[in-house]
Amino acid sequence: MKQPQSRIKAVEWRGDTCRLLDQTRIPGRETYIDCRDYREVVDAIRSLAVRGAPAIGVAGAFAVVLAARSAKDLKEPKPFFEKALLEIREARPTAVNLSWAVERMRGVAESTGLDADRLLQEAEALHAEDIQFNLDIARHGLELFDRKISVGTYCNTGDLATGGVGTAFGLIHGAYLNDRVSHVYTCETRPVLQGLRLTAWELYKNEIPFTAICDNMAASLMAAGRIEAVFLGADRIAANGDAANKIGTYALAVAAKYHGIPFYVVAPSSTFDLSLASGAEIPIEQRDAKEILSVLGDNTPPEAWPVYNPAFDVTPHQLITGIVCERGVLKAPYAENIGSVLG
C-alpha cells in the first residue's frame, strides 16, 4: 500500500527548545512559537496554538522536559516540578492524551531523579510512537473500504493535530493514495473553524480533492448520497466506546445513523481512558464566550451576552460503527472488545 507522508510539523524538539507551529495563524501565516519554559507550552495549549489530542500529548511531554531543566537549579526542585506537572496536565482537561503523557513522564522522573536528558529521550520516544501509530491506523483503515467513495470529516485530525500524518486525516489520506477516496467534505467546525482553517489547508497542501462546508450542510449531503462515510477523531474514549470529540460530533453521528452511513472514530490507544465506564464521566472543557461572539466581528454586542461554549460533546457508542486505532478496527460490543485489545 501507498503510505501518507507528513509534510507539516505541529510540534518538535529543536536543540533546547519545544517548537510549535502557531495554529491560530493558519491558513494566513505559518509562524512558530519557540518555547524554552514549560509555561510557554501551557499557554500555547490553552490558546489552541497547539491542539489535537495526540499533538498536545507530545507537547506536554516536551513541557515536562523544560520543567525538569528549570527545576534542577533550585534548592527544592521537587515542589516546583510537581507544580509544573499539575499546570501542564490541567492545560486542557478533556483530551486524555495530555494527562497520559504527563503521567508517563512522571514515572521516568521518579525513577531517574529529574534527569532532563533521560526525560527528553522519553518524550522523543513518545513522539516517535505517535508517528508510527498514525501509519498503523492508516493501514488498518484501508480494511474499511470495498470501493472508492466520498467521505466526510470534522474538526482537524491531520499533521497539525498529531505527531505524524494524522489519525482520521491520515486514514483518509492513505485511502486516497490507494484509490479508495474520491472526495472529502470537511465541516467548518464552529466556533473556531478548525475544519475550515486547518483541515482544508492540509487537504489543499496534500492535493486531495475537497469541499469545505458549513456544519449544518452535512445532513443534506448525506441525504443526497454525496457523503458515504464519516471519519473523525476523539479526545477521550471511555471503556464502553463512548467518545468525546469536538462539539458538533454528536449531531453528525445522529445524522449519519439516520441516513445509514458508517461513522468511524479514529484515535490511538493513548486516547482511551479505561478508568471511565462511560462518556458521562468525561470532563467537558468550557471555553470563553468570545470564541462564539467573534463571528459578529465589529458588531459584537457592547454588553456581555450569555453564551454556552463547551469545547466537546460525547457521542454514544451505539452511534459508532467502529473505532480505528493502531491495533486494528474495534467493533461492538465495545466494552468487551476494547478491554480485550487494550486492557
Q: What does the pLDDT read at residue 127? A: 97
**How many angstroms separate the CA atoms of 8 and 133, rounded?**
17
pLDDT given for residue 3 in this prediction: 94
Tell me the CA distances in angstroms from 225 to 20, 150, 162, 256, 330, one per residue in order: 39, 9, 30, 11, 26
**From its phi and psi, is residue 193 left (phi > 0), alpha (psi between -120 and 50) or beta?**
left
Assign domain 137-342 to its CATH superfamily: Translation initiation factor eif-2b; domain 2 (3.40.50.10470)
- Residue (of 327, 249, 236, 326) closest to 278 by Cα position: 236
Task: Give domain 11-134's CATH architecture.
Answer: Up-down Bundle (1.20)
Task: List per-residue pLDDT tens for the chain, 343 residues long.
Answer: 899 998 889 999 999 999 999 999 999 999 999 999 999 999 999 999 999 999 999 999 999 999 999 998 898 999 999 999 999 999 999 999 999 999 999 999 999 989 999 999 999 999 999 999 999 999 999 999 999 999 999 999 999 999 999 999 999 999 999 999 999 999 999 999 999 999 999 999 999 999 999 999 999 999 999 999 999 999 999 999 999 999 999 999 999 999 999 999 999 999 999 999 999 999 999 999 999 998 888 888 877 889 999 999 999 999 999 999 999 999 999 999 999 999 7
Residues of the chain with CATH 1.20.120.420: 11-134
Question: What does the alpha-carbon distance between residue 144 and residue 210 come to, in Å, rounded to a whole number?
Answer: 20
DSSP code at position 304: P
**pLDDT attached to residue 137:** 98
- What pLDDT, on a 0 to 100 scale, did the predictor assign at position 296? 85
Which residue intervals of the chain bear CATH 3.40.50.10470?
A: 137-342
Distance CA 224, CA 250 (A): 20
Give the SS3 label for residue 183.
strand
Whole-angstrom distance, CA of residue 308 vs CA of residue 24 = 22
Active site residue 298: no
Q: For residues 83 and 64, what is the distance between their CA atoms, to the nearest angstrom? A: 11
Catalytic residue among 235, 242, 273, 313: 235
